[in-house]
Amino acid sequence: MTETLGFCQEMRPESCGFVLFGATGDLAARKIIPALFGLCDKGLAPRNFYMVLAARTPMDRGALEARLRDSVTKAGFTPAPDVFGAFLERLEYITADYDSDGFYGHLADRLAALDGKTGVNRKHLFYLATPPAAFQPITARLKTSGLLFDPKDCACWSRIIIEKPYGSSLENAVALDAGLKLAAPESQVYRIDHFTGKETVQNVLALRSANAVFEGTWNSGFVDHVQITVFEELGLEGRAAFFERMGLARDMMSHILQLAAITAMDLPPTFRDTDFKAEKKRFFKSINPMTRDEVTRRTVRGQYAGYHGEPGVAADSAEETFLAFKFQVDNDRWRGVPFYVRAGKKAGGKKTRIDLVYKKPDHGIFKHIDIGYPNVFSFLIQPEEKVSFSLISKHPGPKLCFTPRTMGLDYLAEGQEAAGYPTDYERLLIEAMSGDQTLFLSSYEIAFMWEFLSPMLEAWTAAPQACPLHAYADGAPGPAAARELIEKDGRSWIQL
């Protein structure tokens, strides 16, 4: 539910039971369990709230508590004994057999008992931190066991959270979505892309909506081009089996398109989830997938030099670890403004950012002079959380010289207050518990992602010589061909 506090609106999570499938997996350990602890530690969890962790691995209570402490500590928490103890009191673990009707019957009994103990009243959030192949079988059995029900039938609810990868191809993604809808309607399915939960990403729309000075120039009349950068410092981190199936394009495209949409979509009339999703859909409809010839001219693939030395990587692997591409948006706001994207592993420091590069002056006394610096509106998403705008001013002194200056907002500089902010996963869990789908992906968005990506994958497979895999040094910001992609248009990548 939404609660208005003065001039602020705050999403307040409803009392509920949280069920985590795949509780012993890597995703659970790195992201979900720390997020659950963070909600409890920061006082953001619902008043009546319990957690059931389910996985195939048998585990006694001592082993469970040690595992949870390790997960929370590695995420950067230093849990006080009383706080961690209170967290443990809210949860229990059951050994899962996802193919057994008996397991779901046992789960239903435990949820009924915990509902009665906590006063939750049949409000359940099921997080499927499992491989995508398990989504449909688990949701089908949840349905037949009476754990997924139509909220119109009572004052209760049940919701499902799933996480990428959303399939491995367009056909596979469509089949995956169809399987989910056999058990639950779209209103009960919450597809996570954790980038949408990041503070700076959400501030893109907030700044545009609340400050006319920005929104008035957020168009092709003022903006020359847009850059999106998603660089990671590390390589596979033990995920070779996954990466050898998916490659970077499949792994990153959801993140990239969400960043593009939140940057460039028209502002919705309200921030209700239905209005927000309608504007995102309109934006995606204005992007045409590339033809094979356009893929050849507008995309660059790369692979870092040490990739074949990673454990589990095939000696002849041709999976890309770097991708750069250019696309156009065919609508009144952005027509003629190119969007340039670069994403890669072992590409230097960890950097995710959006940069709107403005046109140079075309009127006034400096219209015939190249000042040398464009205005750039930058949203730094990770590891920093900053917003900055570069201005051009006169350099102090007797000469008429120009120099760039920067105005900025640094979230991490807000100290103690910032320490209480929810992380991306914490925020998304709050939204799901509140029943707000604004920050979650629709089935249309998943289908569009694959429609946009499929021509690239097909062209790379059909004509690898026309779209070669360029090598780049570990730690370099991609291959030289990525620099050439933007420089042939008379532009350059933002220096990181």
Domains of the chain: 2-192 (3.40.50.720), 198-415+443-487 (3.30.360.10)
Contact 127, 192 (CB under 8 A): no
Q: Find the range with the poorest average confidence among 69-73, 228-232, 364-368.
A: 364-368
Strand 157-163 vs strand 123-128: parallel, antiparallel, or unpaired?
Answer: parallel
Strand order in the sheet with 351-358: 402-410, 386-394, 376-382, 351-358, 223-231, 339-344, 322-327, 299-304, 469-472
d(CA 16, CA 122): 8
Tens-digit pLDDT profile for residues 151-192: 676 779 999 999 988 888 999 999 999 999 999 999 999 999
Do the Cβ atoms of 375 and 352 come closer than 8 Å? Answer: no
What is the β-pairing status of strands 386-394 and 376-382?
A: antiparallel
- How far is 34 from 423, CA to CA, in rounded Å? 10
Categorize the per-residue pLDDT at 462 as very low, low, confident or very high, splitting at 50, 70 and 90. Answer: very high
CA distance 374 to 60: 61
State the sign of the Cα–Cα–Cα–Cα dihedral 89, 95, 99, 105. Answer: negative
Which DSSP helix (H) or strand (E) runs through 231? strand 223-231
Q: Per mean pLDDT, which range of 26-40, 148-162, 240-254, 264-278 is the poorest?
A: 148-162
Find the length of the chain. 496
**In contact, 297 and 489? CB cutoff 8 Å:** no
Q: Are 403 and 395 in contact (CB under 8 A)?
A: yes
Q: Which residues pair with 389 in a beta bridge?
A: 377, 407
| Percent of the chain residues past pLDDT 70, beyond the cut | 94
Write out the two tokens for 487.
Answer: 């420089």
Residue 420 has pLDDT above 80, yes or no: no
pLDDT value, residue 416: 53
pLDDT at residue 8, rounded to an integer: 65
Q: Say how far apart CA 11 and CA 2 lie, in whole Å.
A: 5
Encode burial over 369-394: b for 16+ CB neighbours within 10 A, e otherwise.
Answer: eeeeebbbbbbbbbeebbbbbbebee
Between CA 252 and CA 315 the distance in angstroms is 23
Place of tokens 């081009």: 225
Instruction: Spot the catalytic one: 124, 194, 255, 363.
Output: 255
Q: DSSP letter at 417?
A: H
Per-residue pLDDT band for 5 (boundaries 50, 70, 90) equals: very low
> Does residue 364 surpass a pLDDT of 90?
no
Q: Which residues contact 185 (CB under 8 A, 6 or more apart)?
A: none
Answer for the pair 185, 369: CB distance below 8 angstroms, yes or no. no
Mean pLDDT for the chain overall:
92
What is the longest distance spanned by two Cα atoms in the chain?
Answer: 84
Phi then psi for residue 277, to 5 deg, are -70, -35
In whole angstroms, give the CA distance from residue 144 to residue 146. Answer: 5
246 against 365, higher pLDDT: 246
Average pLDDT over residues 224-242: 94
Residue 255 appears among annotated catalytic residues: yes
Handedness of CA 293, 299, 300, 303 (dihedral sign): negative
Determine if the pTM surpasses 0.85: yes
Contact, 277 vs 439, CB < 8 A?
no
Q: What is the pLDDT of residue 312?
A: 95
Helix (H) or strand (E) holding 300: strand 299-304
444 CB contacts (<8 Å, ≥6 apart)? 281, 284
Half-sphere exposure at residue 93, Cβ-oriented, CA atoms within 13 angstroms: 20
CA distance 326 to 323: 10
User: Which pLDDT does position 138 carry in this prediction?
Assistant: 97
157-163 and 402-410: which strand pairing? unpaired
Place of tokens 């929370």: 72
Question: For residue 316, what are the contacts with CB-CB under 8 A and spacing of at least 6?
Answer: none
φ and ψ at residue 150, rounded to 5 degrees: -75, 120
**Which residue(s) pair with 391 in the sheet?**
405
Instruction: From 296, 263, 292, select the one nearest 280 (Cα to Cα).
Output: 263
As a whole number of Å, the CA-based R_g of the chain is 24
Q: What is the pLDDT of residues 377-404, one digit of tens each?
A: 999 999 988 999 998 887 788 777 778 8
